[in-house]
Structure 1
Amino acid sequence: MNFGELKTRLKKGDISWLYLLSGEESYYIQKAEEAILNTLFPKGYNVEDVQLVDGTSLSIVDFVGMVETVPFFSPKNVIIVRDAIMFKAKKSAENEAAGKDSAKQASAMEERLYKLFANMPDFSIVIFELRGKADGRKKLYKEFSKHAQIMEAAPVKAYNIDEWLQGKLQEIHKTMDREAHAYFVRAVSMMENIPLGFLDKEMEKLSLFMGPEQKLINRDTLVQVFSDMPEIYGFAMNDAISNHDIKKALYLFNKQQEQGVYIVPIIGQLVHFVRQMWQAKTMLKKGLRDKALGQAIGVSHPFIIKKIIRECQGFSEETLKNAFLQLAECDLGAKTGRLDNAEVEGVIISLCANNK
C-alpha cells in the first residue's frame, strides 16, 4: 500500500502490531512514522518512551527480548527499527561467505522471528523502516507480510505529483488555479529527482507568504515565491523565454552561473526546451493534439501538454531550428573551453524576441 492508503487505515482505527515502511522516498517514510505515532499517542503522552533501534546492529535475540518486555511506564511498547537491513536482499558474496553452520544458526533464529510475528504480544508495536526496496522474495518478508501492514514509498514523478500536491494543499488550507497548477507540475518535471521534503517546506513558506485570508494560489503568486529557488532556476528561465521576457530570462541564466551551475547543463536545459517546442510545433502541423501529441514528445501530464501546445505557437520553426543549431555549437564550445557566454545569451535573446 502507499502512504494515502496507510493514512486511511489509521483513520479507521485499523492499527497493526507490525509495520514495514520501505522505499526510495524517505519523505513518505518519515510522514508515515509520524502518522502512526500520532495515532498511537494522540495527545503526545508517552511518545518519549518510543524505543529507537539501529537495525544494522540489532541481534534477533535482543529484538525478541525487547518486544516481549512488558512496558512499565507506558501502555504501549513501541519500537522503531531504523535501517532494517534484514529485509534487504543479501549480496551473493555475503551468501558465499556464510558457512553452513552459521547459515543453520541464522535459519533457526529466523524461525524464532516468524513465531514472534505470528504471536505478537498485544502491548508491543514494531515499526521497521528501510530506505530502499525490500526484497519480497525473502522468506522473512513473506512470513512478516502475513501479519503486518507494509507501505511502499515509491519515488514521486511529475506524472503522479498531484496526489502529494492535493494532500499538501488541504493541509495548508489552500487551492491552486489551473495556470498555477500547470506551472508547478512543469517546474517539478524539470527536476532530476523530486525532493518532496524540500517542496513541502517551500509550500509552507508560500502559505505564510500568502497569509490565512488568501486561499487561492494563482500563477503570479507561485512564480513570485518559486522562481527564485535555485532548484528550479532552469525551468524558470525557460518559462521566461516562453513568455518572451528577455530581462528575466537573462537574469535567471546568469543567476544559475552565480550559484555555481556549470554552463553545460544550462545549455542542456535550453536544448531540451527548444527541442520540445520544435517537436510540438511539428506534431501540431501533422494534426496531432492533446494526448497523442504528448505521447509523441514524451509528455504525459495533460496540463503540461496544453501549456506546451500554447507556448510552441509563440515561436516560428525557423527561430527554433536556428536556436537548436546555435546551442549545439555552444555545447561544443563549452566542452572544449572555447565558449563565450554572450553566444548563449544571444540565443536566449533571439528566442525571446521572436513572438510569432
Structure 2
Amino acid sequence: MTYTEFMASLAKGELPHLFLLAGEEPYYTARAEDAILRRLLPDAAARADALIRYEEMPPIETLMEALETMPFFTDKTVVVVHDAAVFRAGKKQEEDAAESKDTSTDALTALLTALPPTTYAIFTLGAKPDKRRKLYQTVEKHGRVLESEALRPWNVEQWLNIRLREMNRSMQREARTFFLRVTGMMQSISLTFLDHQLEKLLLYTDAPQFTEADLRAVFSEMPEVSVFALMDAVSARDVSRALDLLARCRADGVHFTVLLALLTRHVRQLWQAKRLLMQGTPPKGLGKVMGMHPFIAEKLGGHARSFNEKTLRDAVLTLADADYLLKTGRAGDELLEDALIRLCRK
C-alpha cells in the first residue's frame, strides 16, 4: 500500500491492531506512525500510560511480554517497535534455516495473528521488508502494511502538490521550476529536509503563493542552489557567469568531487537529450525516456540543441580525465575551469 492509499485508509472505519511501516523514505513512515497514534491515542497526555516504545528490536520474549500486557489507567496498550530487524531481508538460505529452527519467531507470529483486543502493535523498518517471511505475511493478512518508497527527482512533484495543499499555499510556475531543478541536483532526496524548507517559507512570507525569490531566499544555504545556477550557466553557454559561479561554489565549500559528479551528469544528460532529439524523439517525450520530470527534460532538450554533439562527447572525456587527476592530487580547480571554458565556447 502506497503512502497516499495508507493515509486514506486510516480515515475509514476501525483500525486494525497490527501495522508495519517499512521502506526507504523515513518521512513517510514517521508521518504514518504519527497519524496512527493520533487515531488510537487522541489524548496526548494519556499516551504515557498507553504507549510502550522500543527504539530498536528487543528480544522477542520481551516484545511478547509487552504485547500481552494489560492496560492500566487506559483502555488500550500500543506497542511501537522502531528498526524492527525481524522483518529485514537477508540471505534466503540462512533465513529459511533460521526460521525453521526459531521457535520464538513462530510464537511471535502466532501472537500477532490473535492479539489481545486491547493491544495494538506498530513496527517500523527503514528498509524494504522481506515479503517471504511468515511474519510479514501475518501482518499483511491481519493488519496493514505501508511500503514507503524513496522519492526520485521525477516524481517529487506529487509530494510537493500534496504538501502545498496541506499548507494551503501554491507556487508560481517559475518557483515550481526552481524547486524541481534544485531537487534534481540532489544525489538523494530527503523529504524531511525539504519539508523543513517549506515550513520556513511559511515563516518567511504570508503570501498565498510562493515566488521564485521566496524559494531562493529560503533555500540559499543549500549547495545545490549555487550548483543549480552553475548548471544553468553551462546550459546557456555563458562562460563568464559559469566561471564566477564555480568560484562561488568552491568558496562556499562545495567539494570538487561533488561539482565534478554533478557537472558530468549534467553534460551526459545534455548529450543524451541531443542524441534522442537527433533520433526523432519529440521534446515532450524526453522526460519518459530519460527518467526526468517532463518539463525539466523538455527544457534540457532546448539547451541541448545549441551544443555540437562532439563538444559534449569531448567534455565527458575531459571531465573523466579531470576526475582522475584531481583525485590523485595531480591538478587543481584549473581543470574544472578549463572544462567549463571548452564546454561553453561557441
Do 2:83 and 2:126's aligned partners in 1 also have CA atoms closer than 8 Å? Answer: yes
1:51 aligns with 52
Of 326, 330, 334, 1:342 maps to: 334
CA distance in 2, matches of 1:175, 1:162: 12
Paired amino acid for 1:124: T
Q: What's 2:111 paired with?
A: 116
Partner of 2:131, secondary structure, is coil
Amino acid at match of 2:293: H
Distance across 1 between alignment mates of 2:287 and 2:244? 30
Q: State how far apart, in whole Å, the 2-side matches of 1:327 and 1:266 are.
A: 11
User: One-letter code of the match for 1:20?
Assistant: L
How big is each residue's C-alpha offset from its partner over 1:81-111, in whole Å with a ceiling of 9 and x where there is no partner? 12212222455796699699xx2xx33x444
- Aligned residues with identical type, % of pairs: 37
Q: Hey, what does 1:72 align to over in structure 2?
A: 72
**Partner residue, 2:297:** 305
Residues in 1 aligned to 2:40 and 2:96: alpha-carbon distance in whole angstroms: 42
> Structure 1 residues 91, 81: CA separation in 2 closer, same or farther (over 3 Å shift)?
same
Instruction: Give the conservation status (yes or no) of the 8 Å contact 1:191–1:232.
Output: no
Residues 76-87 of structure 1 correspond to what in structure 2 (within 5 A)?
Answer: 76-87=76-87
Aligned to 1:41: 41
The structural deviation recorded for 1:281 is 3.4
Cα deviations by residue, 1:135-172 (Å, 9 ceiling, x for unpaired): 11112222232111011111111122122211221222
Contact 1:237-1:252 at 8 Å conserved across structures:
yes
1:145 equivalent in alignment to 2:147:
no
Contact 2:57 2:81 in 1 (8 A): no
Q: Is the 8 A contact 1:187 1:236 kept in 2?
A: no
- Whole-Å separation in 1 of the counterparts to 2:86 and 2:306: 56
Q: Distance in 2 between matches of 1:322 and 1:111?
A: 60
Deviations 1:236-258 (A, max 9, x none): 32124335666664454234434
Give structure 1 stretches of 5+ with no counterpart. Answer: none
TM-score normalised by structure 1 residue count: 0.83
Give the C-alpha shift of residue 229 in structure 1. 0.5
- What are the residue-to-residue correspondences of 1:313-332 with 2, within 5 Å? 313-315=305-307, 320=312, 323-324=315-316, 326-332=318-324
CA distance in 2 between partners of 1:111 and 1:220 (Å): 58
Aligned twin of 1:24: 24
Partner of 2:160 in structure 1?
165
Q: Sort the Cα spacing of 1:283 and 1:301 in 2 relative to 1 into closer, same or farther, 3 A.
A: same
Q: Which residue of 2 aligns with 1:176?
A: 171
In 2, Cα distance between equivalents of 1:201 and 1:247: 34
Tell me the number of residue pairs that the alignment of Structure 1 and Structure 2 aligns.
345
Distance 2:168 2:271 in 1: 39
